[in-house]
Amino acid sequence: MRVAKFCRRNVSRGLSREAVRRLKKIHRKEVGVQIVDCCRRCLACRVQPFCRIQLTTIEAPDSDTLVQRILEAVRKANEGTSQDTRP
C-alpha cells in the first residue's frame, strides 16, 4: 500500500483537509494517509493542496483533483509492481 504524506500546515490551512478526509474514509484500502510536520514545499503549501508519495510531489488546484491524481499515481505504481515477474 502506498502512503500519501500531507504537510500538517497545508492540512491545517484547509487546503488538503478534504482530500485527507476522503482518502481516509473512502479509499483507505488503496492509500494510507500520514500527516507529517513539514514536506519542505513551503510555496506550494501556501497556495494549493499537495502531498508526497515516496519521492513524488502531487499538486492540484483543489482537493477533488488532488484525490484523483493520488489515486491515478497509486494505481499506476501498483500496476508496475504487479507486473514485476522476478524468478
Specify the 3-state DSSP secondary structure of 60.
coil
d(CA 61, CA 15): 9
Whole-prediction pTM value?
A: 0.86
Mean pLDDT of 73-79: 89
On whether the CB atoms of residues 45 and 6 are closer than 8 A, the answer is no
Strands 50-53, 56-59: pairing is: antiparallel
The residue extents of the domains of the chain are 2-82
The tens digit of pLDDT for each residue in 38-73 reads 988 887 888 999 999 998 999 999 999 999 999 999
Specify the 3-state DSSP secondary structure of 8.
helix
pLDDT at 1: 85
